[in-house]
Structure formats: structure tokens, C-alpha cells
Structure 1
Amino acid sequence: MPIVTIEVTREGTVPGADRTTPEQKAALFRGVSDLLRDVMGKDPDTTFIIFREVELEDWGRGGLPVPAYRAAIPTG
């Protein structure tokens, strides 16, 4: 019984969206289930997938909250 957790920042992935769309989540659920079936022979009916969206300021990288980390990266 595989359990897969997907965590992403709560940022829109398409223009105008402020979070992952239901269609994108459904595609991820199907894709992960199919991948586990194809690679490991796991039954999709016994695969559980947990999808979590985290507020951007609750996500850190390089010792900084992500917004501060991104602001510190030089753009060129």
C-alpha cells in the first residue's frame, strides 16, 4: 500500500491561478498512480496520494523564507 505525499507552494501554476487547479491535482493523482503501477507493479486502487499546498512564506530554502530567498537571487 504505497502512500505518496506531494507538497508544493501555494502559487498559481497558470496565469490568474493562486493555487493548483483541480484538473492539475487529478492529473498528478493519476500520473503518480500509473508510475507506481508501471515501475513497481503497485495496484492503483491501493495507492494513497496526499496533496498539500503550503503558503509561500511557510516554505524555506537556504535558511530564508522562499520570498526572501528569491529576492536575494540575482536576475540576469
Structure 2
Amino acid sequence: MPYVNVRITRDGVTTEQKAQIVAEITQTLQRVLGKRPDLTHIVIDEIDPENWGFSGMLTTEYRKNEGNH
């Protein structure tokens, strides 16, 4: 029973995009590892950008500074 947890920032990702992510990850696990789709679980966690940090700052601050590089 594969379980995959995908974490993304909450930035207007559509239901259709999430469905595509689930379908494609499921297909990859079936094709590469022979895993059964009916036993494959994909969970998408959407994190508010102000709750995600990298490069020493919150995502919201990083994005504000992106245009300044």
C-alpha cells in the first residue's frame, strides 16, 4: 500500500491540477514499481506561504524579493 504525501504552498492550485497530480503519481507507482492503483494513497497538503520557509525566510518574503535579484 503506497502512501505519498505531497506538500505544496496554497497558491490557487485548482482541483483539476490536484487530480492530475494524484493520477500521474499513481500511474508512475504502477508503471515503475508495479503497485496497484486501488491500494495507492496520495495526500496533498496545502501550506499557507507564510507557514513555509526556505532560504532563511518565509516564502511570502522570498517571493517579494524574487524580483530584486
Any idea what SS the aligned residue of 1:4 has? strand
TM-score normalised per structure 1: 0.80
2:44 is aligned to: 51
Q: Which amino acid aligns with 2:49?
A: L
Bigger proportion of residues as helix? 2
| Rounded Cα–Cα distance in structure 2 between residues aligned with 1:35 and 1:57 | 31
Identity of aligned residues (%): 38
Q: Which amino acid aligns with 1:30?
A: A
TM-score normalised per structure 2: 0.87
Aligned Cα root-mean-square deviation (Å): 1.2
Q: Give the gaps of 5 or more residues in structure 1.
A: 13-19
1:62 is aligned to: 55
